[in-house]
Amino acid sequence: MLRVPAAGLALALLLAASPARAASFPCEGVQAADETAICADRALNDLDVEMAVRFAILKELLPMGGRGKLRDDQETWLTERRACGADPACLREAYAGRLKTLRAVFSEFAKQGP
Query: For residue range 38-89, what is the model confidence (pLDDT) as tens digits?
Result: 999 999 999 999 999 999 999 988 888 889 999 999 999 999 999 999 999 9
b/e code 26-43 from CB counts within 10 Å (16+ = b): eeeebeeebbebbbebee
Where does the pLDDT of residue 11 fall: very low under 50, low under 70, confident under 90, or very high at 90 and above?
low
Indicate whether 50 belongs to any domain: yes
Summarised one tens digit per residue, pLDDT across range 86-95 is 999 999 999 9
Percent of the chain with pLDDT over 70: 79
On the question of pLDDT at 114 being above 70, the answer is no
**Number of structural domains in the chain:** 1
User: Is 113 inside any structural domain?
Assistant: no
Give dist(CA 30, CA 34) in Å, integer: 9
Q: Which domain holds residue 93?
A: 32-108
Domain-located, residue 44: yes
- Asked if the structure places residue 22 within a domain, the reply is no
